[in-house]
Amino acid sequence: MLKAVTFDLWQTLILDTPEGLRQARAERVRGMHGVLAAQGLRAQRGAVEAAYDAVGAKLEALWASQQDVGSRGQVRMLLGVLGLEVQIPQEGPVMDALDEAYCLPILSALPITNAGAREVLGMLRDRGIRLALICNTGRTPGKMLRLVLDRLGIAPFLSVFTFSDEVGWRKPHPEIFSRTLTALGVMPGEAAHVGDDATTDVAGARGIGMRAVHLCHPTGVSRQSDGAFTIGQLADLPLVLFAADS
């Protein structure tokens, strides 16, 4: 019997936009450059921008191992590229300011809610289904995504929030799924996971024994799902879930 449903975040419950991504990137670079300049550290804005992009490549390599770090870890990476890691203590007001400059831009460049997300979450909750989020974070850490979800009106529907930067592991690693199921108090066979990525979401959920539903849409990651239940929009999810459970 289906007792819980977990959801991917990006391109599943919420959608990023090219404009939002560009704005957030520009604000991070500008903010971090401002903090460094205020400390008398000579780092050209162009160098900070180049370091930001270099960190992206380092993160991709880290993420490929299914591991993750928080925002401060990413900031330390950027300082390392700039050759400033020794000059700035790992803790203290300067690091706090750099972390804030790195994290806050998402709030002024909010993503948008995917069509039908709130309605489907509300319907599932009203049927007694426990709901949770399992998110591979990118540049924006879980502590900020909680605020985003609250502002978008999604947070009240979810009882468990699992973010890779806080767990240290990324989907499809089984640990991030198992921690979420433990927090929900359900077994893998009693839960389904919904996401747009055939590897991280579909294969990851199946690997731990959950059902998987592939949300296959134009801005999603994957176009094929290797035989998983497939939907083209969130509004179709209840029919697939409860048909499979009947």
Query: Model confidence over 113-134: pLDDT tens digits?
Result: 999 999 999 999 999 999 999 9
Average model confidence (pLDDT) across the chain: 93
CATH number of the domain to which 123 belongs: 3.40.50.1000
Tell me, what's the pLDDT at 48?
96
132 and 231, same domain (yes or no): yes
Query: pLDDT tens digit string along 176-203?
Result: 999 999 999 999 999 999 999 989 999 9
For residue 146 the two structure tokens come to 């909680």
Name the maximum alpha-carbon separation found in the chain: 66
CA distances to 50, 69, 84, 231 from 62, in Å: 19, 9, 21, 31
Percent of residues, the chain, with pLDDT higher than 70 = 94
8 and 24, same domain (yes or no): no
- Give how many domains the chain has, as a whole number: 2
121 and 208, same domain (yes or no): yes
Residue 64: domain span:
18-108
pLDDT at 139 > cutoff 90: yes
82 and 193, same domain (yes or no): no
> CA 113, CA 13: separation in Å to the nearest integer?
6
**Boundary-marking domain end, from 77, 108, 139:** 108
10 and 130, same domain (yes or no): yes
234 and 126, same domain (yes or no): yes
**Boundary-marking domain end, from 108, 130, 153:** 108
Tell me, what's the pLDDT at 43?
85
Tell me, what's the pLDDT at 228?
75
67 and 119, same domain (yes or no): no
122 and 170, same domain (yes or no): yes
Picking from 69-73, 74-78, 85-89, 172-176, which range would have the lowest pLDDT averaged per residue?
Answer: 85-89
Q: Work out the angle at residue 221's Cα, subtended by the Cα atoms of residues 112 and 6, and round it to the nearest 5 degrees.
A: 70
Tell me, what's the pLDDT at 42?
80
